[in-house]
């Protein structure tokens, strides 16, 4: 059984035809729309093509793959409302946040919870458009804020914005955020994006000039969504930097619509309306409770049957369980997204301790470093069964084929997936892994795997299918499930999380979080001396969890900072994706919706506007209930 390229990949061909003048803009828009590309992305691509067609060989490169400012954030029903009149908003999530410093978060649960307080200059809309957030307008070539050669960008900050402690938000805070992120001592997960910049200057209190190390089509990358949240300089002033970082993680201040009331790590976060928020009639809710834990069917019932809760996000639930849990007091939604449910291989040995740590980067895994073993596992897993029986199936949740998925122009046309257990068995035979009883071995090493994921009914069902598939091939498979609040918790001393990776295989969801996915593609970058590999030496803040190290991948990744045209970006990101797939570093099991969530019938779901990148709370200032 095999599955070839999906129709979205033809967006790339249409783009090339557009820039070559073989089709006109209307034809491109029609084709791209039919293939599932968002309106915002289409508009910007058309703009880029026009620039490319008009340019001489040394003229300005294309600007960005996303539209600049065409999207209007939804705010239906907010006119005439009073701040706090909506009372308490109650939200269920699979895992409670452990800390709230967005740039230090090791998992999505902490990024999401911190993003309610901390805000970026720009936000991504559901159609991948850029939306002005803490600035008066999105920079562009047309308004002159984006340099014609993409070497710099100017931001005009919103006047009158206050931090939640009453201090003014100024350009100096943006300068500080850049300085903080590029300082290795702070352990920012977003350092690679902020390192695209050579300098950030406060021209005056409300004007920022950012200059890039090299002109880049990804000029917006450091400033958008969670990657671009701004930190207040005055919070750190006069404090020990390490102590200030720790304090901010548990009690941050921000410019967002809500402030922190209390944090119970891995359990519950409670927020209060920010009385200094820049729009006096917002937010509608006076208090927000986000409760972690529990299973997805119970969360669906709590929202749609008993109506005890208003919303439930990130529901890992199969169609049968969803149908049984769904009531008539609400509904479940699943907008398109870039997430992939995937299996990661550990390229280090999780069972050998070196200098006090297991999965040490220089201690190779005894058999997963054999590509034939990884290829056999890849061929031996029936992704179609997973997609059809445990997820929504095609077209919304098809079998996985790429790691970089859900972004039409970056979707590789070069990859396929195949379920062929006979070929998998033959591959193992040829590599010398022969059956001894029911389990294969070679030179005394048995193919015994520990396979870990989070505690979620649908993931345990995925584990069962994968285990049956691999046992049939001659693997011995031990299954383990860890509470998501622990698995994604980066707290010191927690060695059961996904960054320590003390198993052979682990499964979870991940995906691109921006239209220039440099942060995401860094997950397989080792860096000089393996500095980006999650290890004790960097407190497990390195984003390369697989411990994979390859000079060719690193060399290609290092080119990203200087990418200056749409074509270069397309080619490079596809090259990186194809390396991950061809080398079987990870297995994309199923491509997922952005976020499957339940909402009560009373809630104004139009204002939620979950983005393709899975940003859930970016528009929370406009959330309300139906009149």
Q: Give residue-wise pLDDT tens across range 341-358.
A: 999 999 999 999 998 999
Give CA–CA dist 311/131, Å, rounded.
Answer: 25
Handedness of CA 463, 464, 465, 470 (dihedral sign): positive
**Containing H/E element for 204?**
strand 197-204
Residue 57: CB atoms within 10 A of its CB come to 4
Q: What is the pLDDT of residue 5?
A: 38
Query: Contact, 128 vs 40, CB < 8 A?
Result: yes
Give CA–CA dist 224/128, Å, rounded.
Answer: 11
- Asked if omega into 247 is within 30° of 0 (cis), the reply is no
Residue 595 phi, psi dihedral angles, 5° rounding: -165, 125
Q: What is the pLDDT of residue 53?
A: 38
Q: What is the pLDDT of residue 394?
A: 93
Give CA–CA dist 519/596, Å, rounded.
Answer: 23
Under CATH, what is the fold of the domain 88-289+595-622?
D-Maltodextrin-Binding Protein; domain 2 (3.40.190)
Domain 336-512+586-593 has CATH 3.40.50.11540: no
User: Which residue ranges of the chain lie beneath pLDDT 50?
Assistant: 1-9, 26, 29-30, 33-44, 46-69
- SS3 (DSSP) at 512: coil
Residue 92 β-bridge partners: 291, 312
- Asked if omega into 523 is within 30° of 0 (cis), the reply is no
Q: What is the pLDDT of residue 463?
A: 98
Q: What is the pLDDT of residue 174?
A: 98
Are 88-289+595-622 and 336-512+586-593 equal in CATH topology? no
Q: What is the pLDDT of residue 248?
A: 98
Q: What is the pLDDT of residue 99?
A: 95
Query: Contact, 207 vs 573, CB < 8 A?
Result: no
Task: For the chain, give every domain's residue range.
Answer: 2-54, 88-289+595-622, 336-512+586-593
Q: What is the pLDDT of residue 489?
A: 87
């Amino acid at each position: 059984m095999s599955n070839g390229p999906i129709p979205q990949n033809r967006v790339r061909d249409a783009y090339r035809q557009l820039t070559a003048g073989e089709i006109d803009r209307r034809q491109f828009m029609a084709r791209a729309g039919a293939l599932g590309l968002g309106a915002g992305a289409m508009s910007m691509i058309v703009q880029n093509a026009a620039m490319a067609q008009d340019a001489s060989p040394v003229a300005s490169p294309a600007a960005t793959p996303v539209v600049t400012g065409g999207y209007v954030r939804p705010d239906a029903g907010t006119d005439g409302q009073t701040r706090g009149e909506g009372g308490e908003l109650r939200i269920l999530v699979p895992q409670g946040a452990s800390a709230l410093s967005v740039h230090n978060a090791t998992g999505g649960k902490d990024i999401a919870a911190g993003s309610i307080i901390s805000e970026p200059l720009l936000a991504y809309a559901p159609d991948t458009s850029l939306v002005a957030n803490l600035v008066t307008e999105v920079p562009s070539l047309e308004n002159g804020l984006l340099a014609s050669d993409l070497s710099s960008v100017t931001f005009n900050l919103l006047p009158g914005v206050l931090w939640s402690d009453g201090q003014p938000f100024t350009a100096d805070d943006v300068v500080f955020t850049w300085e903080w992120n590029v300082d290795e001592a702070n352990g920012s997960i977003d350092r690679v994006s902020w390192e695209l910049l050579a300098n950030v200057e406060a021209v005056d209190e409300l004007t920022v000039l950012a200059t890039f190390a090299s002109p880049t089509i990804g000029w917006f990358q450091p400033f958008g969504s969670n990657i671009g949240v701004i930190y207040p300089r005055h919070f750190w002033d006069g404090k020990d930097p390490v102590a200030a970082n720790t304090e901010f993680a548990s009690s941050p201040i921000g410019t967002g619509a809500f402030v922190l009331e209390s944090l119970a790590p891995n359990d519950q976060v409670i927020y209060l309306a920010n009385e200094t928020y820049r729009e006096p009639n917002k937010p509608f809710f006076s208090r927000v409770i986000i409760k972690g834990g529990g299973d997805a069917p119970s969360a669906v019932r709590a929202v749609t049957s008993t109506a005890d809760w208003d919303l439930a996000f990130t529901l890992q639930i199969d169609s049968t369980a969803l149908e049984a849990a769904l009531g008539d007091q609400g509904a479940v939604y699943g907008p398109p997204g870039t997430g992939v449910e995937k299996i990661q291989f550990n390229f280090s040995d999780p069972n050998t301790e070196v200098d006090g740590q297991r999965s040490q980067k220089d201690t190779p895994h005894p058999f997963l470093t054999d590509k034939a073993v990884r290829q056999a596992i890849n061929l031996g897993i029936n992704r179609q069964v997973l997609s059809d029986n445990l997820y929504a199936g095609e077209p919304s949740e098809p079998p996985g084929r790429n790691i970089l998925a859900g972004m039409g122009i970056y979707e590789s046309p070069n990859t396929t997936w195949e379920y062929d257990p006979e070929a998998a068995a033959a591959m193992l035979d040829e590599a010398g892994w022969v059956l001894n009883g029911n389990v294969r071995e070679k030179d005394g090493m048995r193919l015994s795997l520990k396979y870990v994921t989070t505690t979620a009914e649908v993931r345990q069902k995925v584990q069962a299918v994968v285990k049956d598939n691999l046992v049939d091939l001659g693997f011995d498979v031990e299954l383990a499930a860890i509470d998501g609040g622990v698995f994604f918790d980066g707290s010191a001393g927690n060695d059961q999380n996904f960054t320590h990776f003390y198993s052979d295989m682990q499964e979870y969801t991940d995906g691109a979080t921006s239209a220039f996915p440099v942060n995401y593609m860094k997950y397989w970058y080792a860096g000089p001396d393996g500095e980006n590999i999650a290890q004790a030496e960097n407190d497990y803040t390195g984003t390369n969890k697989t411990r994979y190290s390859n000079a060719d991948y690193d060399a290609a990744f290092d080119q990203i900072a200087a990418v200056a045209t749409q074509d270069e970006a397309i080619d490079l990101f596809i090259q990186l994706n194809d390396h991950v797939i061809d080398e079987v570093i990870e297995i994309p099991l199923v491509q997922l919706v952005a976020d499957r969530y339940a909402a009560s019938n009373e809630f104004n779901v139009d204002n939620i506007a979950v983005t393709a990148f899975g940003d859930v709370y970016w528009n929370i200032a406009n959330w309300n209930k139906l009149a």
